[in-house]
Structure 1
Amino acid sequence: MDEYPDSVLQLLNIQPEEIDDFSDKECARYALLLARATDKCKQSLLPCDSLLNVALEYYDDDEKEKAIALLYKGRLAVEMEEEKEAISYLQKGLTIIQNFPKELKTKSLFLSSLGNLYFDAGYYDEAIEMYEAMYQCSITDLDKSIALNNISTYYCLIDEKDSTLMFQHKALNYAISSGDSLQIAMSKHNLSLEFDSFDELDSALFYAQSALKGLPKKENHGNYYSNLGDLIFKTGGNKDSARHYLNKSLAELSIEGKSTCLNNLYNLEKENGDYKTANIYLEKHAAIIDSLYYMDQSTEIQQLIYEYNTKMRVREEQLKGKRIIYCTIASFISICFLIILGYQNYINRKKRVQLQYKQSLEQTQNKLSSLQGTIENNQLIIDLLHQEQSNLKKEQENKKRQIEEREQSIADLKKEKQRLLNWLLEQSNIYKRVITLSKQTVSNKKAMKVLTTAEQDQLKKTIFEIYHDYISFLQEKYSKLTESDLLYLCLQETSLDSQSIAICFGYSDTHPLSQKKYRIKERMIEEKSKM
């Protein structure tokens, strides 16, 4: 559905007669699918109203489907400009969805809609709380970009330049990572507007051009043309280009946007000296302003007209009465009428005070509910992090214990291997010969018998065969060691004492062995220093 919402909406477009045959469960499920596809296609949710009411009645407050139905019901209320009802739906849905921690995408949609409503109503502190919570729920780069765009707008409103630009640049980076061309263009457009608000017109112009260039053709270009034309004019650029983009934007702008664009065209033509054209734009601008004012005041005007007509009818009746009854009766009626009006005014004033108190109480309750939801969410995250930290610590201790056990096992195996190698050596005739010679008892060490050259070669061959793995390890690590050095190091691993080892090399004294040991140590140190 996320990739091809148009196709899904077309498949869901069925006749009302078929819907009547659905069970309550099927109808409720169909309502959610239709509302989601309609919302994805950016179409009006009004055709989904009655179906969403069925879903709200079918699902219970402990089901996430109830929250989703409230989400689209709230968005429909926003579309119908019923802000109070929209906030009520969205707050109730957000409370339900808090019980489903994995539904981060749905929670993000609630926070976005509520944040926009708070922002439009002027509750900016509450709005930024929603936007920041939305960012925490964002999983994809696209969702993070949308949240950061909203946060940046808040900081721009309170004139925090550094924070505004930092968050907007981050939003642009996430948009680029997501690969969504529309979001990239919107982020650049917002950067342009924010640079413009901080009087950095060159940067604003650069991002305005880049945003228009990357905006998909199927999207509305009105605001992008208008912004670019205005910036070209402000920076002293080509006025024909500025005029071209401003005129081009008029066809795609909302009525409020057209008002601003016409005012910019008025200033451009006025500076250009074409006062006739400038006055035409000014008159169109004024007509739109009057129209907007009329739309804002139409309800109040209708009420005033109704009150005036009522008063006029009462007056006519009073005049008729004055022609029939005496002046005293007319005066009495007038006094009674004034008393009634005064009492009615008192009642109305009292009702207004009660209504204001009720609204303040509802706003406070809503804020408390929102704060409690934020607190519970943060506490849940803390608990999850503590659990994860505990699991990681246990896993680390377990691995450390396994490493120690395996190291000890390797050490034991090496000892056992060395014992077996020594046993093999002890079975050889040459080893027995060495043991026999080591047991000589002579008064002069020069008279002590030692291994002959042939016996030394036999010993070396035997040692090199038995300790082949150890010798390979030494040759690989210390390449400068001689065969004599390797033989000495292998004999050290046996149970032979220094005198017996000296006999193996044809020495009757152990002094030459000390010199050999010193030379071997120097070679090994030299090899280590090169590594």
Structure 2
Amino acid sequence: MKKILLVWICFIYGLFFSCTQEIASDIFDRVERYMEICPDSALLLLNRIQHPEKLSGKQRADYALLLTQARDKNYLDSLQSDSLIELAVDFYRNSNDRIRAGKALFYYGKVAALQKDEEVAMQSFLGAQEKLEHTNEYRLKALIQEYVGYLNEDRNMYDMALENYRRSVDYYQKVGDSLGIAYIYRNLAWIYERKNNNDSVTWYVTEAISLLRGDSTSPVFPSLMQLCGVIESNQKNYLEAANYYLIAIKHERIGDLSAYYKLSLGDTYMTLEQLDKAEECFNSILLSKDTFALSTTYNCLYRLEKLNARYEKALYYKEVSDSLLQIAQKEDLRGKILKLQQKYETEKLQLEKKLLRQEMLIQLLGGVALFIILAWSSIFFYRKMKMRYKNAYEKCMQDYSRKNKEIINANEQLIGQYICQIEELKQKKIEAADSFKEQIEKLEQEMQFLIDKNREIRENSYADGISVLRQLKGGLLIVENMTSAEKMQLFGYIDSLFGSFVTRLCEEYALKEANLLLAIFIKLGFSLEELVIVFDSEPEAVRKRKQRLKSKIGLDSKTNLDVFLAIYPRKMSC
């Protein structure tokens, strides 16, 4: 009863698990359809999976990849930890699904970039690019080139960054993504601004704005307005620059970015000597959580107070700016040290896992080798013992058959002598009937006793021969599979049945085993079909065998082999 209950529990659990898997697969299909057009709906669908920890294998990797992608597209702060996306990276790294492998590596690179691990980020982006090389995922290829360009730009490798951004534009053009192209044009404009190439800056900004087609709600619009302000400032058009900065501040939805627009605006007001507006602008930044923005703001206030000849306050702002800058530098240094520590711990853990894996592999190989040795030894010992018992059995059977044959031959000689004596006595019966009658009866009794004894010996000795003959007759055994013991049992039985039929053929015609077996089957009346089965050959081959046997015996073409063997004479010697 307990076993039945356990089986039912396992069945119900398996059914529930399979249903969970099917539900998850259906949700994943819908999430992939909604990811680009409605990322918020995709995230809601993923949150409907109640027990994601029960997923395994490919579904677990798909869940990790889709959840990371959905959080990123919904601008959630979800890429600070790499534990989730690592599941997808580990699963798809060596799989045949190059697209999912490329996506997983791309998001792993974004995580590494946010953690300031530029080396790992670059390796991940390049790995993703390699996985997607021969695919049509142009949008993802464009993002990869864009983020590689960010890394090269941060390292002041502007020419390489320009090349990455141009490749990204090519990919975006293949999918017709004008917004993506606008972002890349903005990045190109910033690089050319650092290189003091104002004509290129103006061209790229103008092209990017035209791609927006008047959509001021686009996320890239404020940064383009900031660039317009920079262009006007470089041309000494400070009022126009201030208007562009105000537009950028008005349309920016991310507070930390507004702080940098306000810095540009405040600096422009200082240039226009509108110090009150500049001070108001700088004070509005003091609520920002960006340490570098605050440090720059306090430095601007320091310059502003110097212009107002308030040196004591200017000195205070200078000290605050320097302290914030030191804090930011220490935080950056602390982050780098922490990253090195984490890298060391990771490498140490990987080394320990590698050593443990090697130790387990050595133990496994040792166990396999020991098992193979034991198995080989057991097989060898078994075969050796089997061969020994087989040889002993065959020797015993041969000795047993030889002894029985000797007894039968001796008895047959006595029978022959008794027959001769009976014949002689019968000839003298008329003359000495009465005197020899008692002697004849005694001899007949002795003869009958020996005949019965021989029959008993034959029945006991060749029971196995009858079994072999039945198997041959029934098609259960063929000549090729007969053992030596089985052949001897059959020969002995035929000898006993037909008066040393086999022995006489051997003595008179020196026949081998194959010819003897054929002669026995013909003697027993086997048909051609039965001979074909017994010898496991074709009818033509059986006919050739019979012709060779006829030639061995020395019969002419007119003599029928079957008839000859059927009436093969018993030779008696008196």
Matched residue, 1:38: 71
Greater CA deviation, 44-53 or 220-229?
44-53
Verify the 8 A CA contact 1:94 1:110 in the aligned structure 2. Answer: yes
Aligned residue number for residue 210 of structure 2: 173
CA distance in 1, matches of 2:79, 2:200: 39
Q: Assess, with a 3 A threshold, how the Cα gap between structure 1 residues 299 and 178 changes in structure 2: closer, same or farther.
A: closer
Q: Match of 2:124?
A: 89
Aligned equivalent of 1:57, options 75, 90, 110: 90
Structure 2 distance, partners of 1:67, 1:21, is: 25
Contact kept? 1:263, 1:281, Cα under 8 Å: yes
The alpha-carbon deviation at position 199 of structure 1 amounts to 4.7
Kindly tell me: are residues 292 and 21 of structure 1, through their superposed partners in 2, closer, same or farther at Cα, counting changes over 3 Å?
Answer: closer
2:89 and 2:108 in contact (8 A); partners too: no
What does residue 443 of structure 1 align with?
none
Report the residue type matching 2:107 in the other structure. Y
**Whole-Å separation in 2 of the counterparts to 1:140 and 1:301:** 40
- In the TM superposition, what is the alpha-carbon distance from 1:70 to its structure 2 partner? 0.5
Instruction: Give the paired residue count.
Output: 299
- CA deviation profile, 1:369-411 (whole Å, cap 9, x unmatched): xxxxxxxxxxxxxxxxxxxxxxxxxxxxxxxxxxxxxxxxxxx
Amino acid at match of 2:112: A
**Who is 2:158 aligned against?**
124
- Given the alignment, which residue of 238, 243, 247 partners 2:279? 243
Q: 1:93 to 1:301 in 2, by over 3 A?
A: closer
Higher relative contact order (CA 8 A, sep 6+): 1
2:169/2:181 contact within 8 Å kept: yes
Deviation of residue 89 (structure 1)? 0.4
CA drift of 1:177 comes to 4.8
CA distance in 2 between counterparts of 1:183 and 1:63 reads 31
CA distance in 2, matches of 1:65, 1:146: 25
In structure 2, what is the equivalent of residue 427 of structure 1? none
Partner-residue secondary structure (3-state), 2:284: helix
- Give the 3-state SS of the residue equivalent to 2:116 in structure 1: coil
Identity of aligned pairs, percent?
A: 26
Using the TM superposition, name which of 39-48 and 225-234 deviates more: 39-48
Once the two structures are superposed, the pairs formed by residues 110-509 of structure 1 within 5 Å of their partners are 110-138=144-172, 139-177=176-214, 180-196=217-233, 199-216=236-253, 220-237=257-274, 239-252=275-288, 254-296=290-332
- In the alignment, structure 2 segments of 5+ residues that lack a partner are 1-34, 339-574
Displacement, 1:62?
5.3
| 1:463-506 C-alpha deviation (Å, 9 max, x unpaired) | xxxxxxxxxxxxxxxxxxxxxxxxxxxxxxxxxxxxxxxxxxxx
Question: How far apart, in 1, do the equivalents of 2:51 and 2:333 lie?
Answer: 44
Instruction: Return the alpha-carbon distance in structure 1 between the equivalents of residues 96 and 227 of structure 2.
Output: 39
- String of CA shifts for 1:231-257, please: whole Å, max 9, x gaps: 1111223x2221111110121252111
Deviation at 1:99, TM superposition (A): 1.1
Q: 1:299 to 1:208 in 2, by over 3 A?
A: closer
Which deviations, in whole Å up to 9, do the C-alpha atoms of 1:484-529 show, x marking residues without a partner?
xxxxxxxxxxxxxxxxxxxxxxxxxxxxxxxxxxxxxxxxxxxxxx
- Output the CA distance in 2 between the equivalents of 1:70 and 1:86: 9
- Per-residue CA deviations over 1:200-255 (Å, capped at 9, x if unaligned) read 43332221122123334878522222221221111223x22211111101212521
Q: Aligned-pair RMSD on alpha carbons?
A: 2.7
Q: CA deviation at 1:35?
A: 0.9
CA distance in 2 between counterparts of 1:72 and 1:154 reads: 25
Gaps of 5+ in 1: 303-531
SS at 2:220's partner residue? Answer: helix
Q: 1:147 to 1:217 in 2, by over 3 A?
A: closer
- Measure how far apart 1:97 and its partner are: 1.6
Task: Please give the secondary structure, in 1, of the residue aligned with 2:293.
Answer: helix
Letter in 1 for 2:140: T
Question: What's 1:67 paired with?
Answer: 102
Matched residues in 1 for 2:332 and 2:37: separation?
39
Contact 2:68–2:79 (8 Å) recurs in 1: no
- Tell me the residue number matched to 2:7: none
SS, match of residue 249 in structure 1: coil
Residue type at the aligned position of 1:100: T
User: How far apart, CA to CA, are the structure 2 residues paired with 1:34 and 1:297?
Assistant: 32
CA distance in 1, matches of 2:259, 2:335: 30
**Counterparts of 1:290 and 1:219, CA distance in 2:** 20
1:74–1:90: 8 Å Cα contact kept in structure 2?
A: yes
Contact 1:141 1:177 in 2 (8 A): no
Q: CA deviation at 1:91?
A: 0.5
- Within the alignment, does 1:99 sit opposite 2:131 as a pair? no
Asked if the contact 1:141–1:178 (Cα under 8 Å) also holds between the matched residues in 2, the reply is no
Q: Tell me which amino acid in the other structure corresponds to 1:122.
A: N
Partner residue, 2:466 = none
Tell me the TM-score normalized by structure 2: 0.48
- After TM superposition, the structure 1 stretch with the greater mean CA deviation from structure 2, 33-42 or 4-13, is 4-13
* Counterpart Cα distance in 2 of 1:298 and 1:51: 24
Q: Where has structure 1 moved over 6 Å in runs of 4 or more?
A: 299-302
Secondary structure in 2 aligned to 1:111?
A: helix
Are residues 244 and 6 of structure 1, via their aligned partners in 2, closer, same or farther at CA, if it must alter by over 3 Å?
Answer: farther
| CA drift at 1:301 | 10
Going from structure 1 to structure 2, the CA distance change for 1:178 and 1:300 (only over 3 Å counts) comes to: closer
Residues 203 and 242 of structure 1, relative CA distance in 2, 3 Å threshold: same
Alpha-carbon distance in structure 2 between the residues aligned to 1:124 and 1:22: 45
1:204 partner amino acid: A
2:142 to 75, 90, 108: 108
- Report the Cα distance in structure 2 between the residues aligned to 1:178 and 1:141, rounded to whole angstroms: 12
1:508-519 → structure 2 map (5 Å cutoff): none
CA separation of 1:147/1:40 partners in 2, compared to 1, >3 Å: closer, same or farther? same
CA distance in 1: counterparts of 2:316 and 2:245, whole angstroms:
27
8 Å CA contact retained: 1:176, 1:184: no
Asked if structure 1 preserves the Cα contact closer than 8 Å seen for 2:255 and 2:288, the reply is: no
- 2:367 aligns with none
